[in-house]
Amino acid sequence: MHEGSTMKRSLQIIREIIRKEFYQIRQDRRMMMVSIMAPILQVIFLGYAATTDIKYSNMVVCDNDKSVESRALIQRFTNSHYFILRYDVNLPDDVDAYIDGAKASVALIIPSGFGEKILQRRTTPVQMVFDGADANTASILLGYATQIVAAYSQSVLLDTPLMMQKGKPARILPEPRVWYNPDLKSQDFMVPGVVALVLMIITMTLTSLGIVKEKEIGTLEQLLVTPIRPFELLIGKLVPFVIIGAIDMSIVLAIARYWFEVPLLGSLPLLFGLSGLFILTTLGLGLFISTIAKSQQQAMLIAQFFFFMPFMFLSGFAFPIANMPKIIQAFTFVIPLRYFLEIVRGIFLKGAGLHELWPQATALAGIGIVIFSLSVLRFRKTLE
């Protein structure tokens, strides 16, 4: 009987706090706008931006031969989707300015006498300059350029009268087939990542700053003299953030699925369930920040430098974890975003189920429990 009445009392208090929080959030129109609109805009814009597809790189050409043969070679480049002929120059040295100024990523230099040598069946040089400042793009373009030139060489060889008479040798043609992501659109890979990133930022920021703000203003102390107990306060404060987080989550997942048409091969309930788990860990992290920061500015710096940036770089969002040194790979195991990325990409692109994803789910839950208990302990200490 007594037990029951304390619990009822607790629930009432929690409900009151939640009502007060929501009232405050509603009052702050801008805050509402930002926490709902910002994730939508961010996912839409950045979903398009985050592409590692190398398409239509600007090419500057110096064709000193201007023969049928040289034009045929250039055409092989422009037919390939990877290169787009942007600039034409007359002197080989003139290409420097385009590469230096980052106006073009590659330069193709065909010397005079190219066509003649091709017809006379002699070796002719062709130079190509790659802007190595963007190492990633340069290495992909280098691969395709080499392939294009090799194919051209081969077609010249197969054209000799000797071959015509005696029969051509076989051509070995690469036939790439991409699994899970047939168009090799990095968008399908990146959009789920952007979704995860935006979700993390919004939930962590709302929680951490929301609580530090009350500390700064001193209203948290006022609550202390009331009969409200710390855990009631905590639940009351967190529930609204959980709700906003869930709304944001549904919106951004819907954008990924219906706006970007990222195929969802796996189960939707599983996706929602595990996303919810992820949001709980980010709320926990936000709470944790709020217990160590003395001011909102500090909370921001901590969130930014200790969480957002390392998470962005080390979670496998853009950089493959497999390429990192072992020590840093070990460090990535404490990053919740890492697991969530594997979960989101797995469910969306590979149709992975709990059977494949239980290690990630367990890790997320583990991190969530640890960080929550730690923050609750610290939170109570701050209050007492």
Partner 1 sequence: MYRLLRPIIIKEFRQIRRDPTSLGMLLVLPTALIIFVGYALNFDVKHVPLVIFDQSKTAESRELLEKFKRTDLFDYKFDVQGYEEIEQLFLHRQATIAVVVPKAYADDVLAGRDVRIQLLVDGSDGNTGGQAVANASRITAEYSTRLAVDAIARMGGRSYIPIDFQPRVWYNPDLLSRQFLVPGLIGFILVLTAVISTSMTVVREKERGTMEQIMVSPLRPIQVIMGKTLPYLLISLLGATAILILGYVLFDIHVRGSLIVLYGGILLIVLGALGQGLLVSTVTDSQQVAFLISVFSSLLPSFLLSGFIFPVSSMPLVLQLLSNLAVNKFFLVVVRGVMLKGVGIDVVWPQFVYMGIFAALMLGISTRRMQKRAA
Q: What is the footprint of partner 1 within residues 108-137 (CB under 8 A)? A: 118, 121-137
Nearer to partner 1, 128 or 229 (CB): 128
Nearer to partner 1, 26 or 121 (CB): 121
In the window 240-279, what residues touch partner 1 (CB under 8 A)? none
Among 49, 90, 226, 269, binds partner 1 (CB under 8 A): 49
Nearer to partner 1, 201 or 252 (CB): 201
For the bound state, the minimum distance from the C-beta of residue 275 to partner 1, rounded and expressed in Å, comes to 19
For the bound state, the minimum distance from the C-beta of residue 289 to partner 1, rounded and expressed in Å, comes to 12
> DSSP assignment of 317-351, as one string?
SSS-GGGS-HHHHHHGGG-HHHHHHHHHHIIIII-
Q: What is the C-alpha separation between 83 and 317, in angstroms, rounded?
A: 27
Q: What is the C-alpha separation between 87 and 199, in angstroms, rounded?
A: 42
Per CB under 8 A, 286 contacts partner 1:
no
In the window 66-105, what residues touch partner 1 (CB under 8 A)? 73, 97, 99-102, 105
Taking residue 175's Cβ as centre, other Cβ atoms within 10 Å add up to 5
For the bound state, the minimum distance from the C-beta of residue 362 to partner 1, rounded and expressed in Å, comes to 17
For the bound state, the minimum distance from the C-beta of residue 377 to partner 1, rounded and expressed in Å, comes to 21
CA angle 211, 213, 214 (to 5 degrees): 70
For the bound state, the minimum distance from the C-beta of residue 366 to partner 1, rounded and expressed in Å, comes to 21
For the bound state, the minimum distance from the C-beta of residue 281 to partner 1, rounded and expressed in Å, comes to 19
3-state SS record for 234-256: HHHHHHHHHHHHHHHHHHHHHHH
Q: What six digits make up the tokens of 301?
A: 């710096």
Which of the stretches 224-232, 254-262, 273-281, 308-316 binds partner 1 when contact is defined by CB under 8 A?
A: 308-316
> DSSP assignment of 281-327, as one string?
HHHHHHHHHHHH-SSHHHHHHHIIIIIIHHHHHHSSSSS-GGGS-HH
Pair 235, 242: CB distance under 8 Å: no
Per CB under 8 A, 149 contacts partner 1:
yes
For the bound state, the minimum distance from the C-beta of residue 273 to partner 1, rounded and expressed in Å, comes to 21
Pair 263, 350: CB distance under 8 Å: no
Q: Collect all residues with Cβ–Cβ distance below 8 Å to 157 and sequence separation of at least 6.
A: 163
Per CB under 8 A, 302 contacts partner 1:
yes
Q: What is the C-alpha separation between 343 and 364, in angstroms, rounded?
A: 10
Nearer to partner 1, 231 or 319 (CB): 319
Nearer to partner 1, 299 or 364 (CB): 299
Nearer to partner 1, 13 or 274 (CB): 274
For the bound state, the minimum distance from the C-beta of residue 3 to partner 1, rounded and expressed in Å, comes to 38
CA angle 294, 29, 379 (to 5 degrees): 25
Nearer to partner 1, 187 or 232 (CB): 187
Among 13, 54, 233, 287, binds partner 1 (CB under 8 A): 54
Among 10, 18, 22, 50, binds partner 1 (CB under 8 A): 50
Nearer to partner 1, 31 or 246 (CB): 31
Q: What is the C-alpha separation between 25 and 29, in angstroms, rounded?
A: 7
Binding-site size for partner 1 (CB under 8 A) equals 130
Give me the half-sphere count of Cα atoms (radius 13 Å) on the Cβ side of residue 354.
7
Q: Collect all residues with Cβ–Cβ distance below 8 Å to 383 and sequence separation of at least 6.
A: 220, 224, 230, 233
For the bound state, the minimum distance from the C-beta of residue 202 to partner 1, rounded and expressed in Å, comes to 7
Among 139, 219, 222, 373, binds partner 1 (CB under 8 A): 139
Nearer to partner 1, 13 or 303 (CB): 303
In the window 161-220, what residues touch partner 1 (CB under 8 A)? 162-163, 166-182, 184-190, 194, 197-198, 201-202, 205-206, 209-210, 213
Pair 42, 80: CB distance under 8 Å: no
For the bound state, the minimum distance from the C-beta of residue 218 to partner 1, rounded and expressed in Å, comes to 12
Nearer to partner 1, 197 or 283 (CB): 197
Q: Collect all residues with Cβ–Cβ distance below 8 Å to 107 and sequence separation of at least 6.
A: 59, 60, 61, 62, 95, 98, 99, 128, 129
Map residue 84 onto helix, strand or coil: strand
